[in-house]
Chains A and B, each alone.
Chain A
Amino acid sequence: GENVEQHPSTLSVQEGDSAVIKCTYSDSASNYFPWYKQELGKRPQLIIDIRSNVGEKKDQRIAVTLNKTAKHFSLHITETQPEDSAVYFCAAFSGYALNFGKGTSLLVTP
């Protein structure tokens, strides 16, 4: 089955800096890659996604890039703010379901 690896597990940045979270996947048939943000005690929220026919997608301060050849994708957050602090999960769709990475705990310090 699909295996999704996510790095780093924790990330601390200063407000205004950029943050990058990276994921790799194993199944070359995976064709959809969402990112979720989960605040403490809350549900995961879909923040951005990318399909396999696209290399990059942006939405304001967040962007996702996909390298199908290398089977990795990344989340980029620019001009980080304290409210960006949360756990971020990547996922890859394979077969019938999403397979999630183990999450990255992002802390943005003022």
Chain B
Amino acid sequence: SQTIHQWPATLVQPVGSPLSLECTVEGTSNPNLYWYRQAAGRGLQLLFYSVGIGQISSEVPQNLSASRPQDRQFILSSKKLLLSDSGFYLCAWSVGRYEQYFGPGTRLTVT
């Protein structure tokens, strides 16, 4: 069966510091991968999606970037965090275009 991992689970970072969040999927090949952000008490905002290695599409221009160095690995990065980057970051995967399954998430607090 398929499993999705995210780490770290929680992170507290000062403003201006860099960020690297990692997501990996097991048990499937060539998944579509997604990064979402959920601000406190808010909905899900799609940040990036990838349909293959090295293929990244950005939905929201901002100081975040994503990379997919391997088929089942998706990384979210920032060179300098802003206070507004705080939130719950969720990675998701799908095979094909439809059913998406979320990882456990990383709760980021920028101080």
Contacts and interface: CB of A to CB of B under 8 A. Distances in A.
Interface of A: 32, 34, 36, 42-46, 49, 51, 89, 93, 96-103
B102 A97 contact: no
Contacts of A101: 43
Contacts of B105: 43
A45 B90 CA distance: 12
Interface of B: 34, 42-44, 46, 49, 51, 57, 59, 90, 97-105
A34 B90 contact: no
A65 B22 CA distance: 37
A100 B97 contact: no
Contact of A49 (B49, B99, B102): B99
Contacts of B49: 96-97
B44 A34 contact: no
B24 to A, nearest CB: 15
